[in-house]
Structure 1
Amino acid sequence: MKIVSLQSAVAYGHVGNSAALLPLQRLGHEVWPVDTVQFSNHPGYGGFRGMRLPAAHLTAMIEGLAAVGALAECDGLLTGYLGEAGTVEAAVLAADLIRSKRPDALYLCDPVIGDAPHGLYVDPDLPEAFRNRLLPLADIVTPNRFELDWLTRRSVADAAEAAAAARSLLGGPDRRGPRLAMVTGLDIGRDMTVLAVTAEHVWQVRTPRLPFSPEPSGTGDVLAALLFGRLLSGYAVPEALDLAVSGLFAVLEQSVALPRQELALVAAQDAMIAPPRRFAAVALEL
C-alpha cells in the first residue's frame, strides 16, 4: 500500500514522520513523507533549532505529488502534527486530491494538539480547525485523552466516558466523520489503557505501566502508524489494535533502559512487527 504522511520531522529522535516511517515500511507499505516542521529534536529537551514549514510550501509539495501521478496510486493519508491552523488546508487538499482519484483511500487523522501535563502546544486555533475541517474527512481519528477532552469539550474520567466521548466524534447517517476512534493515554488503575471505538463496538487493550522518567515522546505517532499499517493490510479492528499496542509495548520495553529520552525504535523494530508479548483486545459492553 502507498501512504502520504503529513506530519513533523526531527533529525534526532523519533516523533512525527521520524517515528511513523519505519513501522509503516516494516509492515510493507511505501510512505511518501511531507514534513510540516523540520526540527533538530523534539521540544521536550527544552530547546531546538529548525523551523515550521510554511503552508504554501506544504501545498506545493502535495500539488507536486499530484502532478507526477502519485496521489492517483495512494491508498492512505496519515496526518499528525500540523502546528498551526493554516497548515490544515494542505491536509484538506491532500485528502481531496487523493479521494478524487481513489474514493476508497483511508484517512487517519491524529489530532496532535497537546497532552497532559504539558497542555496545549499548538496554535490555539488548531483544535477548532481539526473539528471543522479534518474530522469530517477522516475515516479514523486517534486522540489521546487530553485531545479527546478538547475536541469533544468533555471531561473524561474512565473508559465508559472515553467511549461516549469518542462516539461523539464519529460520523453517522446524517453527517460525515470517522468510523473508528482510537483513544490513547487512558490512565486506569495500574495499567495504561487504549480503546478502539466504533458506532457498534468498543475494544480495550491494557498494558502494564513502565517506569519512565520522563515519558518518551513519539509513542502516539508510533501507535497511530502501527494501527494504520495493520488496517491497510486488511486486519480487522480488534486484531489491528492488539498488534499495534503490543508492538508499541515491545518498543517501550527496550526503551526503558536507555540513558536518553528517546524510543528504541530501530533496536526494537523486529519485536515491534512481531511482538513477543501480545495484549488481547477485549470487547466491552459500553
Structure 2
Amino acid sequence: MAILSIQSHVAYGHVGNAAITFPLQRLGREVWAVHTVMFAAHAGYGPPMGPVFSAQTIRDVVSGLEQMQVLPRCKAILSGYLGDADLGAAVLDAVATVKQANPSALYCCDPVMGDVAPGIYVRDNIPAFMKERAIPAADIATPNVFELTLLTGIAVTDIASALAGCRALLALGPKLILLTSLEGDQTPQGHIEMLVVTQQAAWLVSTPKLDLNPAPNGAGDLTAALFLAFYLENRQADAALARTAAAVHAVFGATQAAGTRELALLDAQDDILHPRQLFQARIVS
C-alpha cells in the first residue's frame, strides 16, 4: 500500500514529510515523499533556510513515477503545506494522474493555512485555492477548527456548530471531514477532541490534553497521515478516528516525557503501532 505525500520537508525536526514518513513506514505503509520545500528546520526556529521547489519540479517527479508505471500501486495522495497556489495546481495535476492510473485512489487534503494563535501563515492566494479547487477535488479533508472557519465562515463553539461547519465543507465535494483541535463549550475540561463527519454519520473522540509548551509543530501533519493510513485499511471512519486519537496521544505523551519541542516519533514508535491507551469514538449524529 503506497501513499504519495506531497508537502514540505525539513532536515531537522518533524513537520510535513519529515513528520509522516517514519510513522507510516512503522505501520507498514510505503511512502513516496515529494517535497515542496527543503528547509533546514521549520519556522519555529527562525526564517527557514533552503529551497522552495517549483511547480514544474513537482510535476517532473510525478511524471517520473508515471513513466516507471508504479502509480497503479498508489492507494492515496496526501497534500499538506503549500508555499503557493502554483504548487497546489501541481498537486491537483498529480491527483488526476494517480486517479487515472488507479481510479480507487483517495485524495486527502490537509488544508494547512493557520491556527488560532498565529492566525493565517500562508500566502494570500492559498485560502481561495483551498476553498475553490483543492477541497472540491478531495475525498478527505482534515482542517483544524481555525481552518474550518476560514473555509466556511462558520464559527465553531460547540458540537452543533462543528457539525454545521463540517457539513458545509462536505457540500463542496469531499466525502469525509476530519476536524482536529476541537475545544468547544461541551469539551470536557482538560481534554481536546476530534470529529469525523460523513454524509451518513458523525463520530467524536476525546483525549486528555497534555501540557506541551511550546506545542510541537507537525502534529496536524501527523494526524492527517495516520488517519488516512488507518482509513485505507477498511474505510471505517470511526475505527480510524479512534486509532488515530490513540496514536497521536501516545506521541504527545512521549514528547512530553522527552521535554522536547519536536515530536518524539522514535520514542513513540511502538505505541504508534500498538497504543497502550485506547479511546472510543462515539457517534454524535
Q: Give TM-score scaled by structure 2 length.
A: 0.95
CA distance in 2, matches of 1:213, 1:24: 26
Q: Secondary structure at the match of 1:185?
A: strand
CA distance in 2, matches of 1:2, 1:211: 34
Q: Secondary structure at the match of 2:203?
A: strand
8 Å Cα contact 1:62-1:93 kept in structure 2? no
8 Å Cα contact 2:110-2:224 kept in structure 1? yes
Note the aligned Cα RMSD (angstroms): 1.2
CA distance in 2, matches of 1:102, 1:235: 17
CA distance in 1, matches of 2:179, 2:42: 23
Structure 2 residue 178 is the aligned partner of structure 1 residue 182: yes
* Counterpart position of 1:107: 107
Moved more, 7-16 or 69-78: 69-78
Deviation at 1:83, TM superposition (A): 1.8
Counting matched residue pairs gives 281
CA distance in 1, matches of 2:51, 2:164: 38
Counterparts of 1:87-166 in structure 2, within 5 Å, are 87-166=87-166
Q: Secondary structure at the match of 1:51?
A: coil
Identity among equivalent positions (%) equals: 42
Letter of the structure 2 residue corresponding to residue 53 of structure 1: F
8 Å Cα contact 2:3-2:31 kept in structure 1? yes
Moved more, 239-248 or 229-238: 229-238
CA displacement 1:13-39 (0-9 Å, x = unmatched): 111100111121122211110001111
Q: Secondary structure at the match of 1:87?
A: helix
Q: Secondary structure at the match of 2:265?
A: coil
CA distance in 1, matches of 2:257, 2:24: 25
8 Å Cα contact 1:66-1:72 kept in structure 2? no
CA distance in 2, matches of 1:73, 1:208: 38
Counterparts of 1:35-46 in structure 2, within 5 Å, are 35-46=35-46
* Counterpart position of 1:75: 75
For structure 2, the residue ranges without an aligned partner over 5 or more in a row are none
Counterparts of 1:43-62 in structure 2, within 5 Å, are 43-62=43-62
Counterparts of 1:1-286 in structure 2, within 5 Å, are 1-171=1-171, 177-187=173-183, 188=187, 189-285=189-285
Deviation at 1:46, TM superposition (A): 2.6
Q: Secondary structure at the match of 1:155?
A: coil
Q: Give TM-score scaled by structure 1 length.
A: 0.95
Runs of 4+ with >3 A deviation: none
